[in-house]
Amino acid sequence: MICKNCGRKSYSNGDLCKECSYLLNHNNHDNFYNDRGPNSKLIIPGVLLLIILVCILLFPFLKSKAGFKGEKFSAISALCDSGPASNVFAGSKTLSDGKDLFFKNPYDTQRLYAMDDAGNIRKVSDISPDSMFYYNGYIYFTGAVNDIDTLGTKGLYRIKPDGKGQELLLSFYIDIGVFELETLYDGKLYFVYKENREAAAEICSLNIETKAIRQLHSIPDNLFDDYAYLNVTKYGIYFQDGEGLKKLNEDNTKTKTIIRGFKAGIFNVYKGYVYYVEKSQDSVPILKKVRLDGENEKTLFEPEEKWANRIKPIVYNDKLFFLVTSDDEKESIQGVLYTCGLDGENLEIVSEKASKISINNDNLYYSYEDSFDIFNYMNYGEKFENLRSNPMYKRSIGSGGSLAAEEIFFDPRPLNRGWQSFDHPSSIYNTSKKDFIETRYYYYDDNGQLYKDGWKNIDGEDYCFANDGHMLCEEFSSDGKFLGKDGKVSGFVAPYKENLTFFEDSFITMVSNSYKDRPEEFSENNVSELIERDEVYELTNMFLESQQIFSAEDVESLKPGHSFSVRGINLVLTVTGYEGYNDKFRGYCVGLKQTRYPNLEFKLAKTHGDNKYALLFNDGTSIKPATVSIYRGSLYFSKDAVYKIFISTSQGLNLMPVQLADYYNRYKEEMKQISGEEDLFYFSAALMDYDRGKEDSKYYIKEVMQIE
């Protein structure tokens, strides 16, 4: 066919000339021409046609880049490669690798466990993860770095699903800062890092394959409010700061304010809407939604429960699943799990007793765990017993968000047989496990009843249990028998032997519980009482504290700008330089800076001729040592133990030695005459001498010296 436009022969079987793209088959397009008038011609050069075709194909994408309007917003949702993106904002309770379900096991201090299709359960890691994600054969998660031999206070780990190959990829020094792993998408981990109170919050990505970290955006400290809540979408990264909801372009790292003044306690982007929680003037959490252009704001749910303090929403299969809970810092937690449509319609209660929620593999998982006052060792037994009586549940989610009947996912009650151990979170450093935990042992009989309050014979051995159910060990029973580390009756050895050995190069002080707390009214739980045993005196309700001591070799290897963490007081210090001798601190000092305690001045000080540095601080009134609690319980003294008291004489301050028992009895008698309170007894002293160094050492205390 000869083209009428260019005069060349075209071998195309189509409607357009291959040379100039002129319309060849005129008769088939009469209507097309008639719309343009009798003399019009359609001339589309080849390059122009290509541009038009490309634009047609890319039109949705180009339009989305310019900004969605109307229904086009529906293409924008937060993304995650291993479960709903909003899971992380609800606590990342579960995770799936496509075969097994991984979960934080509440019955083992939230450590990482897995369950296969047959219901078999195995431990994966001894670390209790915060956020966790799965990618390409590994589970990536964040968790505390409590080992004093490992740098950093919080780290990014990875481990294989079978529990092998665990490694620490990144570690950060965090005291009051932030390291939050927000999501994993397209082979990249996105996180927010804020080193301390004054630092900017850095939005970063970590390429898992190349291990390259890229800083995407800095939120100045004055604009950062607790959390950024990263929502990674195909069209940008949404986050909030003090100015409102913003979108970050990952390619050029430019940001744009999407909704000015937006402020949420938590939010999730789903199909063009932001589902978020804000607090009313009365501090009531309210669940709302608003379109990404700031229009169509709507209240979805306002709780009627007077105790409501938080709402944690997850969006999945066009349904909202959200947990309403009380403030677990003030009371035992209460919680109700709800579901409704995306406009708040069809509201229904899923569970009237829940405090944890997660979604994976089209299943909704929830459980009740009371985290109120978990560091109070007086509540350990009650917390353990309640926890072991509450199963974890699940309900299958249909394609339209419908829920199947409730079923038990993990029930600890059938396992409540025989010996059970539990690592309670503690403020005391555990030298054997290198963590802030206290391990206690409990025993259930064949009917699932917890042994409590008294002696029980188990497999031919006698054990004594406290009234809260934990096995007594390394202490005296009420009838005067000393129980060893295994709970069996044995000869006396002080329970803090390992602690003193571990911190043998440190300066150890002892403090009565009542002295630490300084309560207005004493209770029977914190009063220190001196009890005479066959071999030793026992002084109850005491603490041992270790001063932070560092070797000269370690300290002098630090350069200005280097940081290190202080365990036990959760503090990160940065070296500012070497200062020489300081009269106030009475030693050769290394200057330090920190942001956790703005009114305190910290230094590392070395006295003349010493090869160790002590961490000291000035609170404006005096120089004090920085200490960490290493033991809580009874201290044991030899019968002739000496208490040295500072007394003022005409010649100055002198030390007056007195027998410990005499001092204790005299002190209590004086306090009874002064205040009428016989139980008042403050005790703060330095440990000067104790029995040690031999295999048969009892580690009872021989001599202490008054501090305050």
Mean pLDDT of the chain: 84
Q: Is the pLDDT of residue 384 over 50?
A: yes
Identify which has the larger pLDDT, 68 or 51. Answer: 68
Going by C-alpha positions, the residue among 185, 229, 225, 222 that lies closest to residue 203 is 229
CA 617 to the chain's CA centroid: 28
Residue whose tokens read 């005069």: 7
CA 493 to the chain's CA centroid: 36
- Residue 151: the pLDDT is 73
| Tens-digit pLDDT profile for residues 485-539 | 999 999 999 999 999 988 887 889 998 876 554 444 445 567 888 999 999 999 9
Residue 209 shares a structural domain with residue 282: yes
Q: What angle do CA 641, 644, 645 make, to 5 degrees?
A: 140
Please tell me the distance from the alpha carbon of residue 17 to that of residue 513, in angstroms, as a whole number: 95
Q: Is the pLDDT of residue 66 over 80?
A: no
Identify which has the larger pLDDT, 31 or 464. Answer: 464
Residue 5 shares a structural domain with residue 86: no
Q: Is the pLDDT of residue 369 over 80?
A: yes
Residue 157 shares a structural domain with residue 216: yes
Residue whose tokens read 């593999």: 361
- Residue 519: the pLDDT is 45
Asked if residue 481 belongs to a domain, the reply is yes
Across the range 304-333, mean pLDDT stands at: 93
Contact 495, 633 (CB under 8 A): yes
- Residue 57: the pLDDT is 39
Q: How confident is the model at residue 401 (pLDDT cuts 50, 70, 90)?
A: confident
Query: What b-and-e string marks burial along 108-141, b requiring 16 or more CB atoms within 10 Å of the CB?
Result: bbbbbbbbeeeeeeeebbebbbbbbbbbeebbbb
Identify which has the larger pLDDT, 145 or 355. Answer: 355
Q: Is the pLDDT of residue 459 over 70?
A: yes
Last residue in a domain, options 601, 625, 649: 625
Residue 136 shares a structural domain with residue 150: yes
Residue 35 shares a structural domain with residue 161: no
Q: How confident is the model at residue 71 (pLDDT cuts 50, 70, 90)?
A: very low
Contact 336, 305 (CB under 8 A): yes
Residue 58 shares a structural domain with residue 197: no
- Residue 453: the pLDDT is 93
Domain count, the chain: 5
Please tell me the distance from the alpha carbon of residue 321 to that of residue 36, in angstroms, as a whole number: 56
Q: Show the tokens assigned to 360.
A: 């994976």
Q: How confident is the model at residue 652 (pLDDT cuts 50, 70, 90)?
A: low
Q: How confident is the model at residue 35 (pLDDT cuts 50, 70, 90)?
A: very low
- Residue 525: the pLDDT is 64
Identify which has the larger pLDDT, 45 or 132. Answer: 132
Across the range 646-653, mean pLDDT stands at: 68
Residue 263 shares a structural domain with residue 215: yes
Across the range 218-246, mean pLDDT stands at: 92
In this structure, how many other beta carbons lie within 10 angstroms of the beta carbon of residue 497? 17
- Residue 47: the pLDDT is 36
Identify which has the larger pLDDT, 487 or 566. Answer: 487
Q: How confident is the model at residue 36 (pLDDT cuts 50, 70, 90)?
A: very low
Residue 518 shares a structural domain with residue 481: no
Please tell me the distance from the alpha carbon of residue 685 to that of residue 645, in angstroms, as a whole number: 9
Residue 409 shares a structural domain with residue 440: no
CA 420 to each of CA 381, 407, 439, 450, 658: distance values in angstroms, whole numbers, following the listed order: 12, 25, 10, 10, 45
In this structure, how many other beta carbons lie within 10 angstroms of the beta carbon of residue 330? 11
Q: Is the pLDDT of residue 628 over 80?
A: yes
Q: Is the pLDDT of residue 188 over 90?
A: yes
Across the range 688-696, mean pLDDT stands at: 87
Q: Is the pLDDT of residue 244 over 80?
A: yes
Residue whose tokens read 């199947």: 404
Asked if residue 408 belongs to a domain, the reply is yes
Give the phi and the psi of residue 515 in degrees, each rounded to 5. Answer: -70, -40
Last residue in a domain, options 605, 625, 645: 625
Identify which has the larger pLDDT, 513 or 456. Answer: 456
DSSP 403: B
Asked if residue 151 belongs to a domain, the reply is yes
Identify which has the larger pLDDT, 93 or 72. Answer: 93
Q: Which of 289-293, 540-544, 561-565, 599-603 has the lowest mean pLDDT?
A: 561-565
- Residue 433: the pLDDT is 83
> What is the CATH classification number for the domain harbouring 184?
2.120.10.30
Across the range 434-459, mean pLDDT stands at: 94
Asked if residue 503 belongs to a domain, the reply is no
Asked if residue 556 belongs to a domain, the reply is yes
Across the range 262-273, mean pLDDT stands at: 93
- Residue 608: the pLDDT is 67
**What SS3 class is residue 33?**
helix
Which residue range forms the structural domain that includes residue 211? 74-415
Residue 561 shares a structural domain with residue 649: no
Please tell me the distance from the alpha carbon of residue 209 to that of residue 211, in angstroms, as a whole number: 6
Q: Which of 2-6, 292-296, 431-435 has the lowest mean pLDDT?
A: 2-6
Asked if residue 6 belongs to a domain, the reply is yes
Last residue in a domain, options 398, 415, 432: 415
| Tens-digit pLDDT profile for residues 92-136 | 899 999 999 999 999 998 999 999 999 999 999 999 999 999 999
- Residue 458: the pLDDT is 96
Contact 194, 178 (CB under 8 A): yes
Asked if residue 371 belongs to a domain, the reply is yes
Across the range 330-354, mean pLDDT stands at: 95
**Long-range pairs of 579-588 with CB within 8 A, sequence gap ≥ 24:** 579/603, 584/618, 584/623, 585/616, 585/618, 585/623, 586/623, 587/614
Q: How confident is the model at residue 182 (pLDDT cuts 50, 70, 90)?
A: very high
Q: Show the tokens assigned to 219.
A: 């939120």
Contact 267, 240 (CB under 8 A): yes
Residue 299 shares a structural domain with residue 198: yes
Residue whose tokens read 């009237």: 352
> What is the CATH classification number for the domain harbouring 474?
2.10.270.10
Q: Show the tokens assigned to 582.
A: 């300081």
**What SS3 class is residue 443?**
strand
- Residue 666: the pLDDT is 83
Asked if residue 30 belongs to a domain, the reply is yes
Across the range 251-259, mean pLDDT stands at: 96
Across the range 376-393, mean pLDDT stands at: 92
- Residue 175: the pLDDT is 67
Highest mean pLDDT among 437-451, 604-618, 640-654 belongs to 437-451
Residue 268 shares a structural domain with residue 194: yes
